[in-house]
């Protein structure tokens, strides 16, 4: 039998197990080291096997979920997890009373805490939490309109991130889409006509959070829809709890003008509102259904509710966010700290990092909210394209290129990370 030992000067392939053990200093689990070692041995020259294996392991480590510094100026960057989060719990306990009633000692509901607090914060009779806003819409439609029609303006048949569309979400719920009006103009009479026909169980108002229609337009507001005689569900999407922003000392930022809040939508007559947890609410990825207690109960009792429920970490994070809102402590919510820091403070930080590179920048809300809105900001403007080098650092810094220069927008960088940004900028040469 021929082999490498039969060929003069040939090197014997290293043992996969021995090579994997030689990679133990990388800190990754042994099965991943074995995979890299096996691939490296099969890939070519035995002399370079360990080098190839280490390169593979480095790539594996690079592809793990890791913390990054968001220097893009996009406050709710979908690819970076949207709203920044503080640690959800601080007591160090390994278990929580997620579904346990401490008073009775019996089983409780995971909807008893964060959801109840969110209901209180937005003035709703009740609320429940699912795993994202699309789930919230689908569950509400499934619970309240399966087999029946749901009236939606043609100008609000939106497509959300990832290619998911309102008609498709509705189809999965078992409800039937009833389009009313036209793309640019929908009137109250359009809704009244389909309601009078008896073919619809509810009306859905969808906030066009990721695009705008301008020019010859007309839309029907929640207050008008409230008089239709069927339940009205307002999908707010962006998750602004209260348009008045009572948790901010100076009130709402100017860039939030005309953005609908859950409080105002319920006050206007919406029977239910649905919104995201990880956008303007400033919490983890979640979807909230809030409003009339009987309608929320119907959603809670639907079989889909269990499939769509979030885990304990999400509930703990949402509870912390809800308590901050009830305390009217916007600075306790990382998103609002980031969103309201003054440009002067950002310039001071930029000057401290590298005076010669400090400059004005423009941030955006992101996350499919407030299209076209720009927020004055400041940061570092480095001539040339350095985004790859910054992204390759530890920790990775995610920046953007504008007109041939790399922009590191400090609005989305936590002040504690400024020294790391300074080191990374210094390494660019």
The band of 9, judged by pLDDT with boundaries at 50, 70 and 90, is very low
Nearest residue to 100 via CA among 114, 90, 110: 110
The band of 289, judged by pLDDT with boundaries at 50, 70 and 90, is very high
Residue 226 pLDDT more than 90?
Answer: yes
Nearest residue to 317 via CA among 291, 281, 272, 365: 281
H or E segment to which residue 425 belongs:
helix 418-427
Residue 258 pLDDT more than 60?
Answer: yes
Q: What is the pLDDT of residues 359-389, one digit of tens each?
A: 999 999 887 777 778 999 999 999 999 999 9
The Cα–Cα gap between 41 and 19 comes to 9
Q: What is the pLDDT of residues 138-176, one digit of tens each?
A: 999 999 999 999 999 988 887 766 666 888 888 889 999
pLDDT given for residue 3 in this prediction: 42
Mean pLDDT of 277-290: 95
Contact 419, 385 (CB under 8 A): no
pLDDT given for residue 161 in this prediction: 61
pLDDT given for residue 160 in this prediction: 67
Q: Which residues share a beta bridge with 88?
A: none
Mean pLDDT of 64-81: 87
CA distances 264 to 27, 47, 113, 258, 268, Å, are 52, 69, 23, 11, 6
Can you list the positions of beta strands (E) in 149-256?
A: 149-153, 176-180, 200-206, 232-237
Nearest residue to 274 via CA among 144, 134, 143: 134
Q: Which residues share a beta bridge with 275?
A: 237, 288
The Cα–Cα gap between 175 and 172 comes to 8
Give all domains of the chain, ordered by start, each with its CATH number: 14-50 (no CATH), 69-83+336-427 (3.90.1150.180), 114-332 (3.40.640.10)
pLDDT given for residue 319 in this prediction: 92
Q: Phi, psi (5° rounding) for residue 134?
A: -60, -40
pLDDT given for residue 86 in this prediction: 65
Fill in the DSSP letter of residue 107: B
Q: At what angle do helices 166-173 and 133-145 cross, to 10 degrees?
A: 50
Mean pLDDT of 423-427: 95
Three-state secondary structure readout of 306-369:
HHHCCCHHHHHHHHHHHHHHHCCCHHHCHHHHHHHCCHHHHHHHHHHHCHHHEEEEEEEEECCC
The Cα–Cα gap between 400 and 70 comes to 10
Mean pLDDT of 109-126: 93
pLDDT given for residue 4 in this prediction: 44
């Amino acid at each position: 039998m021929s082999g490498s030992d039969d060929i003069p000067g040939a090197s014997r392939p290293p043992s996969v197990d021995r090579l994997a053990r030689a990679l133990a200093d990388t800190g990754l689990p042994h099965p991943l080291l074995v995979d890299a070692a096996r691939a490296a041995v099969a890939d070519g020259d035995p002399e370079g096997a360990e080098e190839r294996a280490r390169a593979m392991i480095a790539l594996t480590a690079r592809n793990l979920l890791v913390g990054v510094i968001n220097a893009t100026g996009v406050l709710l960057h979908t690819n970076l997890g949207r709203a920044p989060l503080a640690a959800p719990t601080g007591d160090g306990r390994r278990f929580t009373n997620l579904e346990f009633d401490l008073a009775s000692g019996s089983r409780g509901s995971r909807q008893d805490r964060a959801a109840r607090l969110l209901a209180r914060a937005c003035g709703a009779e009740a609320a429940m939490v699912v795993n994202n806003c699309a789930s919230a819409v689908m569950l509400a439609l499934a619970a309240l309109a399966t087999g029946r029609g749901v009236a939606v303006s043609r100008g609000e048949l939106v497509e959300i991130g990832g290619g998911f569309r309102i008609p498709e979400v509705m189809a999965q719920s078992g409800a039937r889409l009833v389009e009313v009006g036209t793309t640019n103009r929908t009137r109250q009479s359009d809704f009244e006509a389909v309601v009078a026909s008896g073919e619809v169980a509810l009306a859905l108002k969808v906030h066009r959070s990721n695009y705008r229609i301008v020019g010859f337009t007309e839309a029907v507001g929640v207050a008008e829809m409230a008089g239709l005689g069927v339940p009205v569900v307002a999908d707010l999407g962006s998750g602004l709890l209260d348009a008045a922003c009572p948790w901010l000392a100076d009130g709402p930022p100017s860039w939030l003008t005309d953005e609908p809040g859950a409080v105002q939508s319920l006050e206007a007559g919406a029977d239910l509102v649905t919104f995201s947890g990880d956008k303007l609410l400033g919490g983890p990825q979640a979807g909230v259904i809030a409003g009339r207690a009987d309608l929320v109960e119907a959603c809670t009792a639907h079989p889909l509710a269990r499939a769509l429920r979030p885990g304990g970490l999400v509930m703990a994070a949402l509870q912390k966010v809800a308590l901050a809102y009830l305390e009217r402590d916007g600075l306790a919510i990382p998103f609002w700290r980031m969103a309201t820091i003054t440009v002067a403070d950002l310039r001071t930080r930029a000057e401290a990092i590298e005076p010669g590179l400090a400059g004005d920048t423009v941030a955006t809300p992101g996350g499919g909210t407030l299209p076209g809105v720009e927020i004055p900001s400041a940061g570092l403007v480095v001539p040339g394209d350095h985004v790859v080098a910054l992204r390759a650092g530890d920790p990775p810094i995610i920046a953007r290129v504008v007109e041939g220069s790399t922009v590191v927008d400090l609005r989305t960088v936590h002040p504690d990370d400024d020294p790391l940004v300074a080191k990374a900028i210094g390494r660019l040469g």
